[in-house]
Amino acid sequence: MSSSLLCVCSITSKWDQIPIVFPEIALRGSSGIPDLQASYQNAPNLPLFILDGFETTVQRIYDLNMELVERVTVLKDASAKAIYGSKAGNGVIVVETKRPSAGALRVGYNGGITISAPDLTSYNLANAQEKLDAEVLAGVYRNNVPNRQFPLIATYGQIQKDIASGVNTDWLAQPVQNGIGQRHNVTLDGGGEGMRYFVSLNYNKITGTMKGSDRTTATGVVNLEYRKNKFAFRNNLSIDNNKGINSPYGSFTQYARMNPYWRIHDDNGELIKSYHSGNTPNPLYNLQFKTKDFSTYTTITENFYAEWTPVKSLRFTARTGLSLSNSGTEFFIPAQHTRYATILPTSDQYLKRGEYTITNGKSNMFSTDLGASYSVEKNGHQVFTNLIYSIQQTSNAMTGMSMVGFPNDRMDDISMGLEYKEGTTAQGSEQTSRTVGVTSAINYSYLNKYLADFSYRASGSSQFGADNRWGSFWSAGAGWNVHNEAFAKGIKNLNQLRIRGSIGSTGTQNFSAYQAIATYNYITSQAYDGELGNVLMALHNPNLKWQEIFDKNIGADITLFNKLTIRFDLYSKITKSLLSDQTTAPSTGFNVYRENIGETVNKGYEVGLSYKVISNSARRTYVTVFANAAHNENRIRKVSDALKSLNEAQDSRLLGNSADASRPVTRFQEGQSLTSIWAVTSLGIDPITGSEIFLTRDGNITHIWNVDDQVVAGDMLPSLNGTFGVNARIKGWSFNIAMMFQFGAQIYNTTLVQKVENASMDFNVDRRFLLERWNTPGQYSLFKNIADRTVTKPTTRFVQDNDEMILSSITAAYDFGASNMMKRIGLKNFRVNMTLNDLVRVGKIRAERGTLYPFARNFLMGLQFNF
């Protein structure tokens, strides 16, 4: 994947919409149990990210300047992953940045603007009159007690009067804007036979669709490369600085809830502070004064690489990497903030209004590896071996505190606070983990026809139980280049036919540290008789092991007619020793402890093809069509009693009457998928009563929802998903169109449930609440009785097929080439490009846009030139 294609892919656009949330990525299916009781340090299904040979974080990749990227390789099969060993069980994404090339000094500029345009048409909220009518139908203004009925009628009258005088506030439009972001990148590179250099300065500002939210990153990179005789050295130094600001307008969800018959300004033109007698603040009120809500980090990364080749067949390498990072967050609201709207001057909380919270973090990653490789060739046999020894240390530390008592927004420094926030003191935490490993690999090939490779890795980590610190991982693979065989050389038009297979074992390490070591924690909040005490932190498990993944893979690469390339892979990934919390009786002193239990299997296939429709270099015209599809099936193979009790604990969430009870739970059952949707079978809404009819497991009909009647109603994993598109270059023009599709997946439409059925009458609702809910006997409706305020628990009524096809991006670019005008100015090339993302979506269900962040489309425009 070259850098220009990366700009096109729609993953970038999804990330841009929510500037401060990072995506969760899973390659070839889930293998880790989404942590239900404790929290992981990283999401359990994250692959390992390697940048220029060193491990790095999702955050760094997300903030990376696309222009620096030379190549991205995704490693999914056993042999590829085994080299990376213990942390590679979920796959590896290897990113390599551009290396300096020889030549006279070259200066280049690459920049562009991005426009994020919010699209509010898919939100279908009720207007003022509709909301009031819905409230009437839901019985908000009815009370059986006459002296309570009377003020309700007065409220109704007042609201109706406001609506008649024209009040109909469009709350959704208040906080949104067209986010215009920009990026600029300047590079200098050049060098001679000995020394080469590459310098890059980058500035990237992503402006979100919520007013006041943005994310700014500035990066400086210096890469040096030096070769002399048998030595080569490389040094990469990069400094990144980032600041992300959260919108002072608050969250988009708040605006979606505001009732449209509320005014924003009162009769004097002043902003109204709150509604519902102070319980619901006006989110716009807080814009009148200064607040802070941002996070920043500065990272310095230094990688040094040295290589010595004493004889042609032997090479020694040494690599050292260091990454130092300082981060911080600040949050400040003064006393006038609507959060304190209900506190009276007589209350003892009055002086404690206003809050300032800061945190400071430090994170260091240090790693070194030493390696040796040897190759020999004789009589058509080629052998290549290498051995690498590596050690790594990661440490994180965080301190923070929260002060209260800030009477106005001019006192915006933490030292001006009155006292610590009640119940808190200064906080700190610290974590260090270390790993050591040895990797060795042998690759063998004979006449470039038969290939075999074997690799072995042993790693130890400080995170695991004393009895099980070391894990060993291996892989073996074989390949056959059929196209180099004598019999195949005669076959016309067969350019390449390689059959390959591999098996191997890798591991994952995405867990919190110190789960395996019995540890005491000092109680710092109190002393006893002047003495300090400590208590056990958790039930430790000294037998905790690495989660192991066995991969089996077979595939083929075929090229025909020099035009058609097909890649096919069949795989099976078994995860053993799955880590999860095991519940235990409270009389042991604790409720849970970590244990290796359970097993999952992911099986599937992946197909990719690309076809060169036209490839005419004389006319400089190239057109290629590509398509990829994948199918993955996920099954839980073994479930221990621990997971069964986890199911019971999960089900208990559905028993109450809170909003939590409306989302389907994750249940673990042998033979079922980790992404199954569990719900009770619904037969629809009874036209006579407006309440839902369910089917029990025994086949009886009932009005009562029962947690034991849940069945598997669908699966969130699609049967087939993939991408397809066209790449074309015609003279100076180039076009890319990429489409994404998926079939066979189901989704539990939680957004629809929350907007139409579980919506609270205190706040605004979807128009369908009024228009489509049942309100008279005899009415056929998809949604239950408008007056029914009980929580809608998981039901098959909201399990919907999520088949969709999305036009994910279109890119067009023009390269001015080497025209005379350019030669006069001295420009070597000049290129402009434009990209549109997420243009069109065709799907079986209407996309219910969530209200966490406004849905937006992205337009990117850029230009690039070199001297």
Partner 1 sequence: MNKILIAVLPLCLLLASCKKWLDVSPKTQIESSVNFAGEQGFKDALTGVYLTLNGADLYGKDMTYGFVDALGQQHTQITQVAPDYYYAGQYMYTEESVVNKINSVWSRMYFAVANLNNLLKALESKDSTSFSDYTYNVVKGEALGLRAFLHFDLLRLFAPSPASKGMQAKAIPYRLNYSAIPEPRRNVGEVLNLALKDINDALPLLKYSRSTGCRNNSSNNHNRIFA
- For partner 1, give the closer residue by CB, 293 or 369: 369
> What's the rounded Cα separation, in Å, for the pair 134 and 301?
58
- For partner 1, give the closer residue by CB, 360 or 702: 360
- For partner 1, give the closer residue by CB, 195 or 517: 517
For the beta carbon of residue 435, count every other beta carbon within 10 angstroms: 21
Q: Parallel, antiparallel, or unpaired for β 48-51 and 92-97?
A: parallel
- For partner 1, give the closer residue by CB, 346 or 587: 587
Instruction: Report the nearest approach of partner 1 to the CB of residue 527 (Å).
Output: 8
- For partner 1, give the closer residue by CB, 465 or 608: 465
Q: Under a CB-based contact definition with an 8 Å cutoff, are residues 345 and 392 in contact?
A: no
Long-range CB contact pairs, 796-799, < 8 A, 24+: 796/679, 796/680, 796/681, 796/682, 796/713, 797/682, 797/684, 797/692, 798/679, 798/748, 798/749, 798/750, 798/752, 798/753, 799/677, 799/679, 799/713, 799/714, 799/746, 799/747, 799/748, 799/749
Residues lying near partner 1 in the complex (CB under 8 A) are found at: 372, 374, 385, 387, 389, 391, 397, 428-436, 438, 458, 460-462, 469, 513-514, 517-523, 526, 528-529, 531-537, 539, 541, 582, 584-591, 593
Of 704, 791, 709, 722, whose CA–CA distance to 754 is shortest?
A: 791
Instruction: Report the nearest approach of partner 1 to the CB of residue 246 (Å).
Output: 29
Instruction: Report the nearest approach of partner 1 to the CB of residue 443 (Å).
Output: 15
Q: Is 774 helix (H, G, I), strand (E, B) or coil?
A: coil
- For partner 1, give the closer residue by CB, 374 or 626: 374
Residues 6+ apart with CB under 8 A from 30: 44, 45, 600, 602, 634, 674, 675
Cα separation of the two ends of the chain = 25
Sole residue written with tokens 């190239």: 622
Instruction: Report the nearest approach of partner 1 to the CB of residue 112 (Å).
Output: 45
- For partner 1, give the closer residue by CB, 517 or 726: 517
For the beta carbon of residue 24, count every other beta carbon within 10 angstroms: 13
For the beta carbon of residue 506, count every other beta carbon within 10 angstroms: 31
Instruction: Report the nearest approach of partner 1 to the CB of residue 845 (Å).
Output: 37
* Buried b or exposed e, range 192-214, using 16+ CB within 10 angstroms: eeeebbbbbebbbbbbbbbbbbb
- For partner 1, give the closer residue by CB, 407 or 465: 465
Instruction: Report the nearest approach of partner 1 to the CB of residue 670 (Å).
Output: 24
- For partner 1, give the closer residue by CB, 155 or 658: 658
- For partner 1, give the closer residue by CB, 469 or 767: 469
- For partner 1, give the closer residue by CB, 438 or 499: 438
Instruction: Report the nearest approach of partner 1 to the CB of residue 641 (Å).
Output: 12
H or E segment to which residue 443 belongs: strand 427-446
Instruction: Report the nearest approach of partner 1 to the CB of residue 667 (Å).
Output: 24
Instruction: Report the nearest approach of partner 1 to the CB of residue 465 (Å).
Output: 12
Instruction: Report the nearest approach of partner 1 to the CB of residue 460 (Å).
Output: 5
Q: Which 3-state string (H, E, C) describes 85-142?
A: HHHCCCCEEEEEECCCCCEEEEEEEEEEEEEEEECCCCCCECCHHHHHHHHHHCCCCC
Residues 6+ apart with CB under 8 A from 515: 463, 538, 540, 541, 544, 594
Instruction: Report the nearest approach of partner 1 to the CB of residue 598 (Å).
Output: 17
Which residues make beta-bridge pairs with 667? none
Residues found in the chain: 867
